[in-house]
């Protein structure tokens, strides 16, 4: 599983899968998760979220799930 592998190598998991928090028990992982809520996962739709992501990366803690997005 991708989250399991990421948990051993990274501090933060960045995803465009908005259903991840409903599909996985994230409390069993020692990793923070940032969920990008954009129109799509294409660069043109996600690049505008990167300033928010950059700010969040300075303070996010293991076990936190933070959704970053804009109104669609």
| Percent of the chain predicted with pLDDT > 90 | 65
Q: Tell if the pTM clears 0.85, that is, is over it.
A: yes
Confidence check: pLDDT of 3 > 60: yes
At residue 19, φ and ψ (nearest 5 deg) are -95, 0
Question: b or e along 38-70 (b: 16 or more beta carbons within 10 Å of the residue's beta carbon)?
Answer: beeeeeeebeebeeebeebeeebeeeebbebee
Residues 35-65: pLDDT tens digits?
Answer: 999 999 999 999 999 999 999 999 999 999 9
């Amino acid at each position: 599983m991708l989250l399991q592998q990421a948990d051993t190598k990274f501090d933060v998991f960045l995803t465009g899968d908005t259903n991840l928090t409903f599909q996985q028990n994230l409390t069993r992982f020692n990793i923070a998760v940032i969920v990008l809520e954009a129109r799509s996962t294409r660069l043109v739709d996600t690049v505008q979220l990167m300033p928010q992501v950059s700010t969040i990366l300075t303070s996010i803690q293991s076990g936190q799930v933070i959704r970053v997005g804009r109104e669609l």
